Amino acid sequence: MTLKDHLHLRGSVSHHDDDKDKDKDPKDPQAEPESTARKLFRRLKSGGRSSDEDSGDEGTSKQHRSDSEAELIIELPPAADFHVHLRDGSMMETVTPTIENGGVNLVYVMPNLVPPITEPSAALSYMSKLQALSPKTTFLATLYLHPSITPATIAEAAASGIVGVKSYPRGLTTNSDSGVLSYESFYPVFQAMSDHDIVLNLHGECPSTPAEDVAGIEDEDITILNAEAKFLPTLLSIHQKFPKLRIVLEHCTTAAAVEAVRACGPTVAGTITAHHLFLTIDNWADDPFCFCKPVAKLPADRAALLAAASSGDPKFFLGTDSAPHPKPAKQGRSGNNKTVAGVFTQPYAVQLVAEAFDKVGKADKETLEGFCCRFGREFYKVKEKGIEVEGKDKRTIVLMKGLGEKAIKEVGTGDGAVVPFRAGEEVWSLKWRD
């Protein structure tokens, strides 16, 4: 891209738009009251600093360099994020508008609300609430694998345009009390999913050895460190029984998971998050904002994830597992005084991937486009199934390295505020181009 080109960038996420906003007198009684979502969007656009904040606030945008000073510029089609948690209520209102900030226009939405989404009609009404909060985003619905789901539910889901069913092992992560204890009992449902071409999304971890099992009576020696590795035989056995069933091993965190996905046929793929391209055990051991399930593992695992994500292998694509929790809950200041699992990356989804790929010399258009934009869409058949109309969204996203932007410290306000991954640290910049 030439300098002239990018001086002409016009995006919905541009600093120039901020200047336009400032022209409106906020005290003008005729002026439209600004919604919280709109304020948040404006704040994120300005690199974490809203115009109504004191300019002395560690001046993130003051440190911004102009776009022409970017060390690297990469233009891509809008990305797709095949694993997001958008919650409901006020948290949903806080985080849903940040999807666009991360360069994404299609999201695959997890169903672990309270109660979980187990009926097609509930999934569709949830999608319409989300749509109102981010009108340009395509939302793909899922159901929560639960004993109440039957082959008839799957037929209804397929007819309603629901794309997948998510399986959570019981008790393992946020709102998984209704999760799965044994997979065999779901085989008739898996057969129906295979017949109706509905995707099975696996949270691939085994529950830890119970704390009371000190004598090792049922000891399988499972902790959060090997919970994913212990699950991989289950992935292989489901794949062998249902070879046509499309399966995604969600948020792979180990070299072993990457190998297992590769060892399966083309109906099995794996998502990789942005934060697992950065983290290892040491990061979350003393920082609740880096703690998620599955936990980040060893440096060799991180290297294997980065290699797989940037390999151009279409079996691996972006699913951020962006999982917002209020700051007090992450800090163990609510409920049972423990932290909760989840890392919030939504506003910087593609920026983080680009930064990670850059570390291994893979921040190029083709590699990023495959992992962030293309492979997931192909696996989920979004074009074939008419979920997205080709060419309808003509926008592109422009990634810029080295402009001095810093990740916003909090999204939302008060006890509902969410702290993004690497808050306050330098991030790549992203703009939308019309």
**Chain residues in the site for Zn ion (CB under 5 A):** 321
Minimum distance from residue 144 beta carbon to Zn ion (Å): 12
Rounded to the nearest 10 degrees, the angle between the axes of helix 187-195 and helix 227-241 is 60
Q: CB-wise, 70 or 295, nearer to Zn ion? A: 295
Nearest to 103 by CA among 324, 387, 325, 400: 400
Instruction: With beta carbons less than 8 A apart as the criterion, state whether 297 and 325 touch.
Output: no
Q: CB-wise, 321 or 405, nearer to Zn ion? A: 321
Instruction: With beta carbons less than 8 A apart as the criterion, state whether 102 and 124 touch.
Output: no
Task: Look at the alpha carbons of 172, 286, 88, 349 in this order and tell me if their dihedral is positive or negative.
Answer: negative
Minimum distance from residue 204 beta carbon to Zn ion (Å): 11
Minimum distance from residue 3 beta carbon to Zn ion (Å): 41
Instruction: With beta carbons less than 8 A apart as the criterion, state whether 336 and 316 touch.
Output: no
Task: Report how far residue 39's alpha carbon sits from residue 370's, in angstroms, rounded to the nearest whole number.
Answer: 33
Minimum distance from residue 254 beta carbon to Zn ion (Å): 16
Q: CB-wise, 60 or 176, nearer to Zn ion? A: 176
Instruction: With beta carbons less than 8 A apart as the criterion, state whether 341 and 112 touch.
Output: no
Where does residue 298 rank: exposed (0-12), middle (13-18), buried (19+ CB within 10 A)? middle
Complete edge-to-edge strand list for the sheet that includes strand 396-401: 72-76, 396-401, 429-433
Task: Report how far residue 325's alpha carbon sits from residue 278's, in angstroms, rounded to the nearest whole number.
Answer: 20
Q: CB-wise, 67 or 250, nearer to Zn ion? A: 250
Question: What is the number of the residue whose Cβ is closest to Zn ion?
Answer: 321
Q: CB-wise, 317 or 432, nearer to Zn ion? A: 317
Beta strands (DSSP E) in 110-211 are 138-140, 142-144, 164-167, 199-202
Instruction: With beta carbons less than 8 A apart as the criterion, state whether 75 and 365 touch.
Output: yes
Q: CB-wise, 301 or 321, nearer to Zn ion? A: 321
Task: Report how far residue 253's alpha carbon sits from residue 225's, in angstroms, rounded to the nearest whole number.
Answer: 10
Three-class secondary structure of residue 73 per DSSP: strand
Q: CB-wise, 91 or 360, nearer to Zn ion? A: 91
Q: CB-wise, 321 or 388, nearer to Zn ion? A: 321
Q: CB-wise, 313 or 321, nearer to Zn ion? A: 321
Asked, as a colleague might, if the bond just before 115 is cis with ω within 30 of 0, I would say yes
Task: Report how far residue 235's alpha carbon sits from residue 209's, in angstroms, rounded to the nearest whole number.
Answer: 20
Minimum distance from residue 323 beta carbon to Zn ion (Å): 6
